Structure 1
Amino acid sequence: MQSNVISSRHTIQQQVVIADGKLKDLPSKDVNRRLLKALLEYAPTTEGKEVIASDIIAASEEEDGLTQLARFYTTGLILPLKGGGRTPQVSFHSSQDIEIKSTADDIAVDLEAAKRDQTLKEQTLHRDGYRCVVTRRPEESTISLCPDFDPRGGAFNTIAAHILPFSLMSIDNNKALFKKATIWAVIESFTNIKFAELSGDNFNSLTNVITLDGGVHHFFGQLKVWFEAVSDKPTTYIFRKSKEYLLGDIVNDGDKVTFASVDPHLYPLPDRRYLTLHAAVAKVVHMAGMAEYLDDLTREYENIRVLSDESHAEYLDGLLRIAQRSALVTTSQDEK
């Protein structure tokens, strides 16, 4: 049995090496190459790494296949995990053989049930000690519950922040159902997180929510800060910032954050897999130098949302190509 596991591990490692070699078909400064290489490196599970490697190998056999694959993961994984705004239509690639296990009807029922819980902030604050888990700044509305509150340090507004963004469970119309089903299929192939475990009211489970103050929440949603798991300490993480100046000296890159709960059974801690998925995607964006590109893409998307679905899909395809070329030019200039 052990030999089979080792053999399988070697096979996956070999696939990764082959896939990495296939990426050399793209220019070294190409944003698509950087994106796929980062996905290959930061996939949070062995299965996810195998899926990425297999996709790269298959896509490399097709004309413009790697570029199309990068676009698929940009619209099917990266952008959906970026909080705020709407999610562009998923671009498909022929190398993908995704099994969408949930029917549109199933998802429609679950999406309808997934609504924001009015008591969510209260429960999250209670678990997290009425403070932001990163800055330790207290929530203004509950300072009476903070025995060590120091007025000189101030009180702030905090947010019950979803780790996996609420937009994953919201729809604008029936046409969005298939898009969300596809996105969840990509998430399931990249991780071991299943749609069923977060469907309906489960999306508002405390396992998917943390208390953050406004600034941290903004950058967390933008994939510019993340929590990097400490392997031998299941409740401890290293707080990472894509740029040192983010949040000033309120919190430093590399600071340790340890989650705790007054009662882990009634108030469960954040799910490590959700934080790991968020961190993986954030690191992909950071390593690939895609932050400004994604900001531009989502900003442009909001400007064209009034278009019809057909025109929007065509426009977005062109926008992706333009944005990727812009990112390539920007990177080339930065490296000079």
Structure 2
Amino acid sequence: MCSLTLTSCSSEAAVELYEERLKPGIDALRNSCTPLRELVGAAEKIIHEKFAPDSRSTYKYKKGSKEISVGLDKVMLAMLACVEECGGESGKRYVACAILVCSEEDDVVGALQALGTIWLTHLLFIFKASKDHGNQSNEKPSGLATPTVNKTATHFLERVLKRDGYACVVTGYQDSKHPNPGPDDQVNLISAHILRRAIGQFDNDHNSKSFRSAVITFDILTLEELHNELDDPSNGVTLELNAHKAFDQFKWCLKATEKEHVYDLKIFKSGGLLRKPENMRISFQDHGNDFLPASTRKRNHPVNLPDPRYFAIHAAIAGVLNMSGGGRFFDELLDKYKDDRGNVPPVRSWPELEALVEEELLDESIAEGFQIVAVH
């Protein structure tokens, strides 16, 4: 199960174990009558007693003399703590059952290592890689130059901006296009995707590694019914530039309250929010008709408010990344592959990153070969 290319554990081997051995057992245990509390308690015990003390619970990456790592046991505990936010009791049951099924394997720790690797590389990494990491060169979706996609993107931006009243929903800063601006200076705002559209874009080849990676992600988060709606205003929110960058980096999130379309602001890391809302609470409503001329009788069509499911998924991923240390691990990992301009390669999945590493290793070996020839 080891890899000489990228990490202490091959994600491809982990996927094979998950698909062939773990998933059938997970599905069976999920459908059992065992109470959720009992499943979670047993899963936490296995992590603490079996997995955490073993060195294989540490996922390592080494380039040159520098090594970075993240605890897979911490990823699992964070998944147990946070997944209910977006997947409900069913999601938490899945996570607990997946951990327990590993205990039925001959190599319990090896199975747990594979499962943790799956969650790290095929779930969490996709969300980090699809974000703007520094000056990531895939900021614009592939094919954006085509008229159809261009029109869709422009339509999305305009509808979300109008719906949110030409103002950042967190800081309150008004956009430079505000039809009736206040006394404060206006800024340029972004109509941002809550879940980036790159998450819903994957290889059409159903046998490819990137497609299998996406399927596992969708299976974990039940995204299959959502990924076709990522360009709808329900997946959009208007943000000031710094707030947007911090949101993409999972430094803050919005957590649902008992009131519909009202959220509490949760900050994991300071920075990025130049102003904070009163009582750290944000509410959404459609402002699309607030700026119509008094003489007009024609009303704009209602625009969908942000879907709570998108905010819930973002909040759950933010919780896992910050609680487990996975966010820091990915930041350090991606930074190692910046080019001379500070751009991160446009990888959207872990298999694509592995291919990049293999290509770099090949280039290095060829360069070394030429050096040896030159010496002789």
Q: Same fold (TM over 0.5)?
A: yes
* Aligned-partner Cα distance in 1 for 2:197–2:164: 20
Aligned to 2:198: 167
- The correspondence for 2:271, drawn from 228, 246, 253, is 246
Structure 1 residue 252, shift from structure 2 partner: 6.8
Change (3 A) 1:286 1:311: closer
**CA offsets, 1:264-313, max 9 Å, x none?**
97201010011000000101111112332110122235569599x79934
Q: Does 1:280 align with 2:311?
A: no
Change (3 A) 1:9 1:163: farther
Structure 1 segments unaligned to the other structure (5+ residues): 1-6, 87-111, 320-336
Matched-pair contact (CA < 8 Å) for 1:48–1:190: yes
**CA offsets, 1:209-255, max 9 Å, x none?**
1111111111111111111111x112111111112x31365227971
- The correspondence for 1:22, drawn from 38, 46, 56, is 46
Matched-pair contact (CA < 8 Å) for 2:170–2:277: no
- The correspondence for 1:53, drawn from 89, 96, 114, is 96
Aligned residue type for 2:221: T
Aligned to 1:330: none
* Aligned-partner Cα distance in 2 for 1:297–1:19: 29
* Aligned-partner Cα distance in 2 for 1:297–1:229: 32
Which aligned segments of 4 or more residues in structure 1 are displaced greater than 6 angstroms?
112-115
Matched residue count: 277
* Aligned-partner Cα distance in 2 for 1:121–1:138: 15
Matched-pair contact (CA < 8 Å) for 1:125–1:211: yes
Q: Does 1:270 align with 2:309?
A: no
Matched-pair contact (CA < 8 Å) for 1:241–1:253: no
Matched-pair contact (CA < 8 Å) for 2:246–2:252: yes
* Aligned-partner Cα distance in 2 for 1:224–1:47: 27
- Mapping 1:190-201, distance limit 5 Å: 190-194=220-224, 196-199=225-228
* Aligned-partner Cα distance in 2 for 1:253–1:283: 23
| Structure showing greater Rg | 2
Aligned to 1:189: 219
Change (3 A) 1:249 1:54: same
* Aligned-partner Cα distance in 2 for 1:310–1:291: 19
Matched-pair contact (CA < 8 Å) for 1:164–1:274: yes
- Mapping 1:1-336, distance limit 5 Å: 11-24=35-48, 25-27=50-52, 31-43=71-83, 44=86, 45-60=88-103, 61=105, 62=107, 63-82=109-128, 83-84=131-132, 116-140=152-176, 142-146=177-181, 149-150=182-183, 153-170=184-201, 178-179=208-209, 181-194=211-224, 196-199=225-228, 202-230=229-257, 232-243=258-269, 245-247=270-272, 250-251=275-276, 255-262=280-287, 266-301=302-337, 312-313=354-355, 315=357
Change (3 A) 1:314 1:205: closer
**CA offsets, 1:39-71, max 9 Å, x none?**
011112212111111111123433422222222
RMSD: 3.6
State the SS of the aligned residue for 1:234. Answer: coil
State the SS of the aligned residue for 1:144. Answer: coil
Higher helix share: 1
Matched-pair contact (CA < 8 Å) for 2:171–2:273: no
Structure 1 residue 27, shift from structure 2 partner: 2.8
* Aligned-partner Cα distance in 2 for 1:297–1:253: 37
State the SS of the aligned residue for 2:216. Answer: helix
State the SS of the aligned residue for 1:143. Answer: coil
Matched-pair contact (CA < 8 Å) for 2:170–2:275: no
Matched-pair contact (CA < 8 Å) for 2:251–2:267: yes
**CA offsets, 1:3-28, max 9 Å, x none?**
xxxx9786222111111111012337
- TM-score, structure 1 normalization: 0.71
Change (3 A) 1:49 1:265: farther
Change (3 A) 1:52 1:226: same
